[in-house]
């Protein structure tokens, strides 16, 4: 059965992680292969908007500090899990080595991503991209010039910029992978399109709904309690509450 996956964070830290994950996905989707580079002249707006949002997110919040704490907790958990019987030691040791290496990189006094703020081209572009409609070609002749350099040069610049974010990206991916693996999906059925439960100790809700279903979930809550209200599209009001019997899958991570 084909499903749609919805995820909802239950604290601000995980909310920031998911936002960053999406921004990384947008940036890399514009520059992950040769075909993307060829089409980069059409997708550069998405790339730079995502890149600058990543830089701002790292500047404003203590993402690095949060990731260090989560990697330290993960490292401790992996050591404990290594004592369990029937554990796949090779996979566990690979994850442990990756966790230790990433944690060491993040604790380094010099954060490579800060070099992005010192790049003159990026700094000039970032000022214009912050203005609505400010990234038009007539406002940014230097961008037009750069976009029309040799494909190899454009690709090399993009690769270099993204490489400066590698330790953040890989740390984020590792932490979110283990958070998502904390729980399996279970099937839940409700009579009224509404579900609520205790959220204590939870970080993330993952909800799967059949693609053929004509409803979707909206979530409210925090680490103490959460509720899921299913909605129906409505031409007049945009959406309305569903009061019908509802079936979905839920993973409480």
Clarify whether residues 58 and 173 are in a common domain.
yes
- The CA angle 44-48-51, to the nearest 5 degrees, is 140
* pLDDT at residue number 91: 81
| The domain boundary residue, chosen from 130, 164, 180 | 180
User: Rounded to whole angstroms, how far apart are CA atoms 146 and 135?
Assistant: 14
Clarify whether residues 202 and 176 are in a common domain.
no
Structure token digits, residue 33: 């292969």
7 within a domain of the structure (yes/no)? no
| The domain boundary residue, chosen from 164, 180, 196 | 180
Clarify whether residues 158 and 203 are in a common domain.
no
Clarify whether residues 176 and 84 are in a common domain.
yes
Q: Which CATH number belongs to the domain containing residue 246 in this structure?
A: 2.60.440.10
Residues 114 and 53 sit within 8 Å (Cβ to Cβ):
no
144 within a domain of the structure (yes/no)? yes
Clarify whether residues 164 and 245 are in a common domain.
no
Average pLDDT over residues 234-240: 71
2 within a domain of the structure (yes/no)? no
Clarify whether residues 158 and 51 are in a common domain.
yes
H or E element, residue 211: none
Higher confidence at residue 244 or residue 38? 244
Clarify whether residues 69 and 145 are in a common domain.
yes
pLDDT of 166-216, one tens digit each?
999 999 999 999 999 999 999 999 988 899 999 899 999 999 999 999 899
Across the beta sheet with 246-252, what order do the strands follow?
A: 3-9, 204-210, 246-252, 186-190
Clarify whether residues 151 and 247 are in a common domain.
no
What contacts 226, CB < 8 A, 6 or more positions away? 8, 10, 196, 197, 199, 202, 205, 219, 220
pLDDT at 3 exceeding the cut of 70: yes
175 within a domain of the structure (yes/no)? yes
100 within a domain of the structure (yes/no)? yes
Clarify whether residues 140 and 232 are in a common domain.
no
198 within a domain of the structure (yes/no)? yes
* pLDDT at residue number 241: 81
Q: What is the mean pLDDT of the chain?
A: 88
Number of structural domains in the chain = 2
What contacts 163, CB < 8 A, 6 or more positions away? 112
* pLDDT at residue number 196: 93
Clarify whether residues 44 and 72 are in a common domain.
yes
Around Cβ 117, how many Cβ atoms within 10 Å? Answer: 12
Which residue in this structure is represented by tokens 């566990």? 92
| The domain boundary residue, chosen from 122, 154, 180 | 180
* % of residues, the chain, pLDDT over 90: 53
The least confident of 62-76, 113-127, 139-153, 229-243 is: 229-243
6 within a domain of the structure (yes/no)? no
pLDDT of 9-45, one tens digit each?
999 999 999 999 999 999 988 877 554 565 676 778 8
pTM score: 0.91
Clarify whether residues 213 and 119 are in a common domain.
no
Clarify whether residues 125 and 214 are in a common domain.
no
3 within a domain of the structure (yes/no)? no
Q: Which CATH number belongs to the domain containing residue 40 in this structure?
A: 1.10.3900.10
pLDDT of 58-67, one tens digit each?
988 789 999 9
* pLDDT at residue number 130: 81
Domain that holds residue 33: 12-180
């Amino acid at each position: 059965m084909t499903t749609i996956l919805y995820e909802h964070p239950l604290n601000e830290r995980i909310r920031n992680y998911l936002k960053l994950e999406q921004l990384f996905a947008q940036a890399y989707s514009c520059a992950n292969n040769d075909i993307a580079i060829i089409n980069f002249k059409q997708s550069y707006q998405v790339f730079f908007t995502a890149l600058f949002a990543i830089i701002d997110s790292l500047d404003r919040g203590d993402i690095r500090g949060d990731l260090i704490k989560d990697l330290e907790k993960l490292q401790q958990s992996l050591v404990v899990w290594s004592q369990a019987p029937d554990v796949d030691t090779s996979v566990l040791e690979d994850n442990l080595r990756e966790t230790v290496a990433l944690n060491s990189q993040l604790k380094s006094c010099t954060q490579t991503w800060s070099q992005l703020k010192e790049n003159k081209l990026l700094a000039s572009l970032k000022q214009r991209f912050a203005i609505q409609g400010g990234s038009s070609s007539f406002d940014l002749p230097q961008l037009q010039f750069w976009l029309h350099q040799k494909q190899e040069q454009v690709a090399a610049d993009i690769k270099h910029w993204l490489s400066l974010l590698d330790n953040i990206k890989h740390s984020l991916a590792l932490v979110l992978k283990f958070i998502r693996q904390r729980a399996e999906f279970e099937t839940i059925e409700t009579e009224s399109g509404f579900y609520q439960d205790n959220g204590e100790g939870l970080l993330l809700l993952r909800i799967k709904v059949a693609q053929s279903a004509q409803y979707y979930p909206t979530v409210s809550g925090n680490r103490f309690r959460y509720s899921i209200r299913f909605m129906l599209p409505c031409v007049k009001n945009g959406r309305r509450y569903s009061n019908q019997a509802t079936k979905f899958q839920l993973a409480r991570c």
